[in-house]
Amino acid sequence: MELYRIEGGRPLGGSVVLPPAKNSVLPLLAASLLCGGPVLLRNVPRTADAETSLALLRVLGAGAEWTTEGVWVKSGEKLENQLPQELASAMRSSVFYLAPLLHRTGRVTMPLPGGCRLGPRLIDIHLDGLSRMGARLSWQQRTLTLAAPRRLCGVDYTLRMPSVGATESLMMAAALARGGTILRGVACEPEVADLAAFLNACGADIHGAGTPTIRVRGVEELGGTDFTPLPDRIIGATLVCAAAAAGGRVRLENGRMGDMRDSLTLLRRMGCAVFEDDGITVERDGILRPVGMVSTGAWPGFATDCAPLLAAALLTAGGESTIRDTLFEKRFACAAGFAAMGANVAVEGRQLTIRGVEKLRGARVKAPDLRGGAALILAALGAEGVTLVEDAGHIRRGYPSLEKVLCELGAAAKKNEAAEGAE
């Protein structure tokens, strides 16, 4: 079991280059199976989910390896089409393999995908959209099979809600489908536009990604490419919220204001100074102001993944803040850890209410999920004394080495196996 040890009370200072975004890399790795030529994804960091994806690609018969440049994927001539239970259930992103394997093998069998326990995480839109394109769905208990003996067909399809993953699945399916596809009511997150840019670089014909309507003209085949995925805006938000929680000044050298406006606007409202040049700098000096009531939402709304991170900074703000998560039921499982550190927090349904306290103190807490675990680390940076964050394996799913980055910024953070780190 991984365990973080944080000694709080040190302001942060320094500059960071953000790695490519996990939520871009994971669909890109799956989409590489659609490509006839080799794919290089540059600078991909070794998050646990990227490692699981490479293991999955290899089990399916593709070549996938890390090099100093990034990750190379070479889709095999002959691919397996059954996703093994242990890999499929290790991450939500196993759902991205449905459309590529349908195209490549005409059939795919997959146990239900795993991922952070944030409440029910349905995949009905992925399945409905693929069925409309001609795939036949059948279930055996919790394992699904999709079969498409003939090439998938283009459709005019409206998503019942702007799911990021379903938009990405259907865009992959449409890229090689027979005829044109119009996807309406889609997600507009930057990672969706990144996947379209990647597929277009491989020869696809996709327009409108980043807007609510995507138009795709299906092509016969895709080639390979050399692609650098966009910088990770959620790691960016984590580090600037760390500066807000601990005090100090953090610069994101390749931070993109357009991708992070939601959290930066709120940090400004809280009294942080936010500067933009060719990167982004956030500085906190003094007590933060509360934000009142805010809700998460689909892009360009406040990103759900950033809600616990911002909450960590608000624990010592001078007043009351409420954050409502509109996407996931159990977004604030980290509240128990915040409370153990002396925070005044209450969860009611999807809503977290925070009454700022003067200070937090170190405690032994458990990471409930990826972003909740990162949020506990941020709270610990601003707390007095030592905090131990147990079950921290979740954190490695999305942060290649958070402890190292935080140490480079002046924090006292270590990661150990639990037996060594316990006090």
Just list the catalytic residues: 116
Q: What angle do CA 1, 305, 289 make, to 5 degrees?
A: 110
CB atoms within 10 A of CB 197: 20
Instruction: Select 93 or 105, whichever has its Cβ closest to ligand EPU.
Output: 93
Contact criterion met (CB below 8 Å) for 356 and 317 = yes
- Nearest-approach distance from CB 31 to ligand EPU, in angstroms: 13
Question: In angstroms, what CA-CA distances link 78 with 36, 70, 167, 169?
Answer: 12, 24, 27, 21
Instruction: Select 23 or 387, whichever has its Cβ closest to ligand EPU.
Output: 23
DSSP string, 72-130: EEE--SS---B--HHHHTT-GGGGGGHHHHHHHHSEEEEEPP----SS----HHHHHHH
Instruction: Select 326 or 416, whichever has its Cβ closest to ligand EPU.
Output: 326
CB atoms within 10 A of CB 183: 26
Instruction: Select 165 or 247, whichever has its Cβ closest to ligand EPU.
Output: 165
DSSP 209: B
Strands 12-16 and 248-252: parallel
Residues near ligand EPU (CB under 6 A) are 23, 26, 92-93, 116, 120-126, 161, 163-166, 187, 191, 234, 303-305, 327-328, 370-371, 398
Please report, to the nearest 10 degrees, the dihedral formed by the alpha carbons of residues 186, 329, 383, 302 taken in order: 20
Q: What CA–CA distance (Å, rounded) separates 48 from 196? A: 24
CB atoms within 10 A of CB 156: 11
Instruction: Select 125 or 197, whichever has its Cβ closest to ligand EPU.
Output: 125
- Nearest-approach distance from CB 113 to ligand EPU, in angstroms: 9
Give me the half-sphere count of Cα atoms (radius 13 Å) on the Cβ side of residue 45: 22
**What are the structure tokens assigned to 73, written together?**
């994927």
Contact criterion met (CB below 8 Å) for 31 and 172 = yes
Q: What CA–CA distance (Å, rounded) separates 329 from 117? A: 9
The alpha helices in 176-319, defined as continuous H runs, are: 190-201, 233-246, 257-269, 307-314
Strand partners, 245: none
Instruction: Select 302 or 338, whichever has its Cβ closest to ligand EPU.
Output: 302
Residue 136's H or E segment, with its range, is strand 136-140
The alpha helices in 274-332, defined as continuous H runs, are: 307-314
- CA-based nearest residue to 331, from 348, 343, 313: 348
DSSP 385: S
- Nearest-approach distance from CB 411 to ligand EPU, in angstroms: 22
- Nearest-approach distance from CB 152 to ligand EPU, in angstroms: 17
- Nearest-approach distance from CB 24 to ligand EPU, in angstroms: 8
Contact criterion met (CB below 8 Å) for 124 and 149 = no
- Nearest-approach distance from CB 324 to ligand EPU, in angstroms: 14
